[in-house]
Chain A
Amino acid sequence: MLMTTLPEWLSDNRGTTALAAMLSPASSQSIETLAAESRAITLRRFGRTMTLYAPLYLSNYCSSGCAYCGFASDRKTPRHRLEPDEIRRELGAMKKLGISDILLLTGERTAAADFDYLQRSVAIAAEEMPRVSVEAFPMSVSEYRALADCGCTGITIYQETYNRERYETLHRWGPKKDFIARLETPARALEGGIKTVGLGVLLGLSDPVEDALSLYRHVRHLGRTYWRAGMTVSFPRMRPQTGGYEPPFPVDDHLLARIIFAFRIALPDTELVLSTRESANFRDGMAGLGITRMSIESRTTVGGYCESENEESKERTDKGQFEISDNRSAKEFCAALRRQNIEPVFKNWELSYNGPSSNIKLAM
């Protein structure tokens, strides 16, 4: 099945020796040493601040069969899609919480939630929020261009795992099954004028150290090829969810922390992201030590923000894409950051910077 050869950058070893040395749990560098270095770099480059964003699930229709996902097309999960007036209501509820930086999510491309639907949703969101990013399905360069023209500045697209065989086993059917097509998606987004791409691996699916090294290669490859590219790196880790999938390569807190510190040291200027998948204890601990961007008030169900304004929401039985571990309100979460001398930053962007980027691909 391995018809197409892998891109050369996946075996580019510039910088990986030093990173591998830090990533190995058997490393001579103690986690405490890495933490101190990571903290110092973060403080110098990003200061005592944490940029905040919140996800908005537009739709949980999905055409793919990701073995680990609660929204895979064979799950019995009830399917919803937010209509324009519902999106506006959700945005209104989010704005009341102070949120001005959002990530719009859908499943893989379906008739119910296709490109036109996504584009309309982005346009609605961009009327309300200065910063709108999208985590949806891979698109063409011209589709990305159209989203950028509507005010979308960022795309999140995780490779999930860079191990091709594992990837093809885990993605049982649907468009996501094509490993190479997925691998090339961030480059297409940048060529389409999207300013920032968010990369990541879903920790737990495959050998975490190997995946982290490939993720680093991907970041460096994109940075060299598209010199204007903004990049963020996330560290999502498998948690229990609807499908009951047990991650075959579980990553414990120590290893996750080590990976984050190593990335901060290896990529001192790159925003590193940690979501509410992680516990309050882990998030509070990692704030200031390397992470510079966090999600807040996450609802991983479709329509979750308005529901939580109503009392009966507590009765809701729908499960989200994954379970939130840090359930604190924005207020509680910000108070915890402030106790650590870190300023939560809700608005760190300006509408006037939302024009498409003029990325030109450089031959490597």
Chain B
Amino acid sequence: MDSLQIGSYTFSSRLILGTGKFSNSTVMLEAVRASGTQLVTVALRRFNREQAEDDLFGPLSAIEGITLMPNTSGASTAAEAVRAAHIARELSGSPFIKVEIHPNPQHLMPDPIETYEACRILAQEGFLVMPYIAADPVLAKRLEEVGCASVMPLGSAIGSGQGLATSEMLNIIIRESGIPVIVDAGLRSPSEAAHAMEMGCEAVLVNSAVAAASNPPAMAEAFAEAVAAGRKGFRAGLMQKSGSAVATSPLTSFLGTC
């Protein structure tokens, strides 16, 4: 069986869903169910223990077969992310933590230095650390060295819908990585998710593309199918793209005949 392995966890679905930006939690839960996802991320800042109607964690934790991965969205330093991870583990019981550290709250680009530091600490503490990072091949290896369970490079800016704008760098990350590479952020359409899987990503994470669709549950299902198809394509071995054309006058005639 082809499954996604992270730490001791095994997932048959390779689609990870984000849970923000939905018009209400009913639609969000329908999308989660329709996607067949088994791993869902939820921001600690959207946990609300005082007001059930405003809380995302409660209804998600009630769904069977779902593993929750709290995220530190909103943190701007390693220290804040580490504190948030501790609280999130306490509240959710999940060993997963998606490290999101974006000191600039406008463009939400991840801070590589703070992310590295937070991941180093949290991996040592036994978390399954899943860092959201820029598509930087060196940072990806540095995070693998400190014990991250995966790396989650961005396809393009959060909420931009620009797809796999970083594909050159993603290819290097995938080629070199010994831990699962999961594209996180920027995807707009199911075909882009399929493309990421064909490139060799182990999974993709989507949120805006589903939440902002006209019909979020139907879009979630479409992403699930695209991810599965892309994975199958990758496993089946894509035909080589045509290489350089063969020159009409041989380039190696100077070598003579052997």
Contacts and interface: CB of A to CB of B under 8 A. Distances in A.
A and B from one complex: yes
Interface of A: 43-49, 95, 98, 100, 130, 195-196, 223, 227-231, 267, 269-270, 338, 341-350, 352-353, 355, 357-358
A230 B105 contact: yes
Contact of A98 (B44, B54, B159): B54
Given A231-B106, A269-B108, A350 B51 contact: no
A342 B24 CA distance: 7
Nearest to B84: A352
Given A231-B106, A353-B80, A100 B212 contact: no
A229 B102 CA distance: 11
A319 B84 CA distance: 42
9 closest A-B pairs by CB: A47-B21, A48-B23, A269-B106, A352-B83, A230-B105, A45-B159, A341-B23, A350-B45, A347-B48
Nearest to A226: B104
B77 A48 contact: no
Contact of B84 (A47, A100, A227, A353): A353
B44 A350 contact: yes
Contacts of B107: 269
B159 A46 contact: yes
A44 B106 contact: no
Given A230-B106, A231-B106, A44 B160 contact: yes
B74 A270 contact: no
A197 to B, nearest CB: 11
Contact of A48 (B45, B53, B211): B211
Contacts of B108: 269
A271 to B, nearest CB: 8
A290 to B, nearest CB: 15
Given A196-B105, A223-B106, A49 B84 contact: no
Contacts, number: 107
A348 B24 contact: no
B209 to A, nearest CB: 9
Interface residues on B, range: 35 or more
A47 B22 contact: yes
Contacts of A95: 50
Contact of A347 (B45, B80, B105): B45
Contact of B21 (A46, A195, A267): A46
Given A43-B212, A47-B208, A343-B22, A350 B77 contact: no
Nearest to A352: B83
Interface string B153-173: 000001111000000000000
A350 B87 contact: yes
Contacts of A43: 212
A353 B75 contact: yes
20 contacts: A45-B158, A45-B208, A47-B208, A95-B50, A196-B105, A228-B76, A230-B106, A269-B107, A338-B23, A343-B23, A346-B51, A347-B47, A347-B50, A348-B46, A350-B45, A350-B47, A350-B74, A350-B84, A353-B80, A357-B76
B63 interface: no
Contacts of A338: 23-24
Given A47-B22, A98-B54, A350-B87, A355 B160 contact: no
A346 B25 CA distance: 14
A227 B21 contact: no
Given A47-B211, A48-B23, A100-B50, 9 more contacts: A45-B159, A95-B50, A98-B50, A130-B45, A269-B106, A269-B108, A347-B46, A353-B76, A358-B77
Given A44-B160, A44-B161, A48-B211, A347 B104 contact: no
Interface string B104-119: 1111100000000000
Contacts of A353: 45, 74-76, 80, 84
A269 B104 CA distance: 10
Given A341-B23, A352-B80, A347 B51 contact: yes
Interface string B193-219: 000000000000001100110000000
A44 B53 CA distance: 24
B79 interface: yes
Interface centre among B45, B48, B80, B104 (most CB of A within 10 A): B45
Nearest to B87: A352
B20 A47 contact: yes
Interface in B72-99: 74-77, 79-80, 83-84, 87
A45 B79 CA distance: 27
B103 interface: yes
Contacts of B212: 43-44, 47-48
A347 B79 CA distance: 21
B208 A44 contact: yes
A324 B28 CA distance: 34
Contacts of A352: 44, 75, 80, 83-84, 87
A95 B50 CA distance: 9
A230 B84 CA distance: 20
Nearest to B74: A353
